[in-house]
A and B are shown apart, each in its own frame.
Chain A
Amino acid sequence: MGDRCSSAVIASAMAAAALLGCGPAHAIDAAVIDAAKREGEVVWYSTQIINQLVRPIAAAFEKKYPGIKVRYTRANANEVAVKILNESRAGRPQSDVFDGTSSVVPLKQEGYVLQWQPEAAKDYPDIYKDRQGYWVASNIYINTPGYNTSLVPKGSEPHTYQDLLDPRWKGKMAWNALPSASGGLGFVGTVLAEMGERDGMAYLRAFSKQRVANVAAAAREVLDQVIAGEYAIGLQIFNHHAVISAKKGAPVDWIKMEPATGTLSVISIHKNAPHPNAAKLLVDFIISKEGQQVYRDADYLTADPAVPARDPSLKPEDGHFRVRFFPPETIEDNVPKWKQVFDDLFG
């Protein structure tokens, strides 16, 4: 909240300030840190990779705030939602902080999410944070096509959605067929949003003749199969995965096909968090420059525009390509419709 809305203001003034555009951003003061230290720990239900990200974040946080231990579990977004819902309904919430691309929506609807954003979020683009303060993005995901450079020589790869209709790619493409934005559903959603309902459906009908292989596994595994040569092109793969593998020498590259699909990994605090102050401290840390640098060092695409990715060209603002972002609410609202189209045309 900064100087403009100092911590001394009374409650009604805070509400007024929020209306005036201060937003729900809150500064961390000594009182929160002291209270967090008394709580002693913070529990993070994560969908992020432990070895790469969760552990380094925990280590950096524990170094900055000695005496507060970060405990964590990792599962898929669906499982995280199941756990939090069941624990909360039984009145025994175990988690303080959780993340995911869209699972915040049902949890918010049942009233289990705190409206709170750290001060650092004020520098984030509007699309990366919830206006009501339920979530803020810690990192972004960009889904684009990736291709095997030994099977498809550089320069001959498709560049546009129209290029994908070329008969030479028939039967040579694969995507993740699980209901996820980083898969066929996200492709359908992006095409419909970009081209409009009528032209979009016409495009998808033409595209269904390409017989894309439905791989019922995460986008990362689709990319692995592309690297192994099973398919020439993987659709909706994560662009940073292609870069990580290429760095190891794998014959793979990603395509700046516009618009790419963008989703957000958003972080939220449980309304009845057992360690509410430590929870705020952790979210504040993750959104701060310090936390974002840990994300960057783990090869993630940081949400903070001031912290470039390790390979800056992966992020739309530095790589200069257009992305259509789907915030959690849009994903949650549209998945049934996208899935219907996907099942009809590609299932």
Chain B
Amino acid sequence: MTSSAEAPSWSRSSARQTTWIAGLLTVVLAALVVPPLIFLLQGSLIIAGAPNEATRWGLENFQNVLGGRRFVGTALNTLVFAAGSAVIALVVGWIMAWIVERTNAPLKGLAYVTAIISLGTPYILYVSAWLLVFGKAGPVNQLYRTLTGSTDVLINIYSMPGMVLVEGFLWSPLAFLLVGATLRNANPELEEAARVSGAGVWGTIRRITMRLSLPAIMALSMLVFIRAIEAFEVPALVGLPGRISVLTTDIYTNMMARAPPDLGGSSALSVLMLLLVLVLLYIYARLSRHAERFATITGKGFRPRPFDLGRLRYVAAVILVVDFVLLLLVPMLMLAWISLLPFFAPVSAASFKLLSLNNYRTVLASDHLELMINTMLVAVATATSAVVLTFFAAWLAVRRAPGGWLVERLATIPLVFPGLVLGVAVMQVFLRLPIPLYGTIGILIWAFVISYLPYGMRYSSSGMLQIHRELEEAAAVCGASALTRLRRIVAPLLAPALVAGWLFIFLMATRVLSLAILLAGPRSQTMAVAMFDLWGNGQGTELAALGLMWSMLMAMIAVAFYVMARRSAAGALGRA
């Protein structure tokens, strides 16, 4: 590195290393993603005949999806539901993230508590809690009837707005964590310059802050929109009783009417979603072609400073409190209420005498230790592997390295996989492999990594877009290899996004139900099995007790991890 004649050699060896990374990563991602992808495409084209009849190939599955009963109505419902959920998740998540990361509002901790605990709560409990709060017999409508003497309801949760709100709220922690990670690294000088030039708070947010978080907003819209189109649980639990059907309600009930389930319809819908994802990725790629626009971490140092809201900071604090009350306190209080009861009783004076700690005693007396250890192992391994893989993938994609295009697509495709399709595909892979992993937690981790790659990818690449390549170029000139640059420069700067992504995947992986049950062997049972057991058993009150304790435990682990990671990241960024 002493003479200029040697310069090409470092650049060549660095490029060689990049090629190696790209090659290795492509192989790993392809091994993960391609088998379920083939299975999905095949499933969408196979037409199951009557039992005992041979199957054949054809396009009927697509016809059934696109030409089903009342197609126009259900398709419209689906679009409204998916777009509405994405908007709710984004608006709630973005506002919370902005207040927490960019302002001097008090009570910021509340937003983290809300996001982490609600992410760690099994969603069936969370959705049920909402239904019990706002249902016909719930306290809200009861209070309304008592006050007005009416026999009607004030809020009909079994409606489109009900579905949109519940689904949107379910996804808002994802938005909060992802936007938060990018806003933390936003250079405040741009905002300050805008303020100095006479822009108001709103003008600054609109023209500077929001534009800078555009990649994160795009990424989120894609994640939530696609997942909401393929969602079945909320439309089933909230929409169906109100006779609102979406595309998946028909598809899933048809699928489950057969044993083994007919995967044709849901595979066909997923293939259509896959096309949409590829279009969205194309738009995303065009947007990030000018990645420098979003890069706020450059060679010039900065210190993120909070935005002084003046008196408005109390308004911001009120918003944080409302978010906390609505998204966390209300459902959790409902769950706590149920967990103290012997059966689902409405909130009333008469029910108070039924309260006891019996459910907690039963849960604590049952031996879940092995299941807990398995779940923790699966969640930690899943989150770590997904974050490591997508860290490299995002770097290759954002830096437009050879192969970056491919790894970005490979890591995003699993977004469209329906749970059952993924489960069966992974099952078949491991049944055919000579390695004895079938029936162990290894296969669970394998399947979970696949399903969380798209989330890890969005966390990593939103963060990566903010890091200007000049930092790496400087290091490269000084002789740093690709791996050294990744380790010494990119990883520490990307830490907030990686930590947020890890946290999200970890919490999601601890609460997955159906995939975990499908793939669990007699020796690889997880908490999902225990929860499913209580749920199917009608021990919903006991499940509430277990769920509450479990999500508190997960939240404590997540907070401990978060504090630790944030400290070390702060150290790397030279912040106090």
**Which B residues from 110 to 163 make CB contacts under 8 A with A?**
132, 135-137, 158
Interface string of B346-363 (1 = CB under 8 A from A): 100000001000000000
Q: Is B253 an interface residue (CB 8 A)?
A: yes
Write the nearest CB–CB distance from B237 to chain A, whole angstroms.
6
Are B257 and A336 in contact, with the CB atoms below 8 A? yes
Q: Is B442 an interface residue (CB 8 A)?
A: no
Whole-angstrom distance between the alpha carbons of A101 and B49 in the complex?
22
Are B51 and A248 in contact, with the CB atoms below 8 A? no
Chain B residues with Cβ below 8 Å from A79 are: 514, 517-518
Write the nearest CB–CB distance from A158 to chain B, whole angstroms.
20
Chain B residues with Cβ below 8 Å from A191 are: none
Whole-angstrom distance between the alpha carbons of A43 and B523 in the complex?
11
Write the nearest CB–CB distance from A340 to chain B, whole angstroms.
10
Q: Is B492 an interface residue (CB 8 A)?
A: no
Q: Is A313 an interface residue (CB 8 A)?
A: no
Write the nearest CB–CB distance from A180 to chain B, whole angstroms.
8
Are B540 and A221 in contact, with the CB atoms below 8 A? yes
Are B240 and A228 in contact, with the CB atoms below 8 A? no
Asked if A174 meets B520 with Cβ closer than 8 Å, knowing A224-B538, A224-B540, A227-B344, the reply is no
Whole-angstrom distance between the alpha carbons of A85 and B420 in the complex?
14
Q: Is B439 an interface residue (CB 8 A)?
A: yes
Chain B residues with Cβ below 8 Å from A78 are: 256, 259-261
Whole-angstrom distance between the alpha carbons of A258 and B523 in the complex?
44
Chain B residues with Cβ below 8 Å from A105 are: 51, 259
Q: Is B532 an interface residue (CB 8 A)?
A: yes
**Which A residues from 203 to 239 make CB contacts under 8 A with B?**
213-218, 220-221, 223-225, 227-230
Are B51 and A109 in contact, with the CB atoms below 8 A? yes
Are A227 and B343 in contact, with the CB atoms below 8 A? yes
Whole-angstrom distance between the alpha carbons of A291 and B220 in the complex?
53
Are A230 and B522 in contact, with the CB atoms below 8 A? no
**Which B residues from 534 to 556 make CB contacts under 8 A with A?**
534-538, 540
Q: Which of B135, B243, B253, B521 contacts A73 (CB 8 A)?
A: B521
Are B522 and A86 in contact, with the CB atoms below 8 A? no
Chain A residues with Cβ below 8 Å from B13 are: none
B245, B260, B346, B439: most-surrounded residue (chain A CB, <10 A): B260
Are A86 and B540 in contact, with the CB atoms below 8 A? no
Q: Is A50 an interface residue (CB 8 A)?
A: yes
Are A332 and B51 in contact, with the CB atoms below 8 A? yes
Write the nearest CB–CB distance from B113 to chain A, whole angstroms.
28
Are A86 and B428 in contact, with the CB atoms below 8 A? yes
Are B518 and A228 in contact, with the CB atoms below 8 A? no
Are A51 and B439 in contact, with the CB atoms below 8 A? no
Are B137 and A230 in contact, with the CB atoms below 8 A? yes
Bin chain A's interface residue count.
Answer: 35 or more
Q: Is B197 an interface residue (CB 8 A)?
A: no
Asked if A72 meets B522 with Cβ closer than 8 Å, knowing A90-B431, A214-B241, the reply is yes
Whole-angstrom distance between the alpha carbons of A220 and B128 in the complex?
14
Chain B residues with Cβ below 8 Å from A109 are: 51-52
Q: Is A241 an interface residue (CB 8 A)?
A: yes
Are B240 and A177 in contact, with the CB atoms below 8 A? yes
Are A71 and B51 in contact, with the CB atoms below 8 A? no
Whole-angstrom distance between the alpha carbons of A115 and B354 in the complex?
50
Chain B residues with Cβ below 8 Å from A92 are: 431, 438
Interface size on B, residues (CB 8 A): 57
Chain A residues with Cβ below 8 Å from B250 are: 347
Chain A residues with Cβ below 8 Å from B525 are: 73
Q: Is A77 an interface residue (CB 8 A)?
A: yes
Chain B residues with Cβ below 8 Å from A229 are: 136-137, 346
Q: Is B427 an interface residue (CB 8 A)?
A: yes
Are A213 and B241 in contact, with the CB atoms below 8 A? yes
Residue of B nearest to A249 (CB): B342
Whole-angstrom distance between the alpha carbons of A72 and B520 in the complex?
10
Q: Is B174 an interface residue (CB 8 A)?
A: no
Whole-angstrom distance between the alpha carbons of A158 and B62 in the complex?
44
Q: Is A132 an interface residue (CB 8 A)?
A: no
A92, A214, A245: most-surrounded residue (chain B CB, <10 A): A214
Interface string of B508-522 (1 = CB under 8 A from A): 000000100110111
Are B345 and A250 in contact, with the CB atoms below 8 A? yes
Are B51 and A215 in contact, with the CB atoms below 8 A? no
Chain A residues with Cβ below 8 Å from B345 are: 227-228, 250
Are A49 and B256 in contact, with the CB atoms below 8 A? no
Are B342 and A248 in contact, with the CB atoms below 8 A? yes
Write the nearest CB–CB distance from B536 to chain A, whole angstroms.
6
Interface string of B407-425 (1 = CB under 8 A from A): 0000000000000100110
Are A74 and B529 in contact, with the CB atoms below 8 A? yes
A94, A221, A335, A343: most-surrounded residue (chain B CB, <10 A): A221
Chain B residues with Cβ below 8 Å from A75 are: 517-518, 520, 532
Q: Is B366 an interface residue (CB 8 A)?
A: yes
Chain B residues with Cβ below 8 Å from A217 are: 236-237
The 4 closest A-B pairs by CB, nearest first: A216-B236, A229-B137, A71-B522, A179-B257
Residues in A lying within 8 Å of B, measured CB to CB: 43, 49-52, 71-79, 81-83, 85-87, 90, 92, 94, 100, 102-103, 105-106, 109, 174, 177-179, 213-218, 220-221, 223-225, 227-230, 241, 244-245, 248-250, 332, 335-336, 339, 343, 347
Other than the known A221-B540, A249-B342, A250-B344, what 6 A-B pairs have Cβ atoms closer than 8 Å? A72-B522, A78-B259, A81-B260, A83-B427, A224-B343, A339-B253
23 residue pairs of the A-B complex, CB under 8 angstroms, read: A50-B529, A72-B522, A73-B525, A73-B529, A76-B517, A76-B536, A82-B424, A90-B428, A92-B438, A94-B439, A174-B241, A177-B240, A178-B256, A179-B253, A179-B254, A215-B241, A221-B535, A224-B538, A227-B344, A228-B137, A228-B344, A249-B354, A335-B257
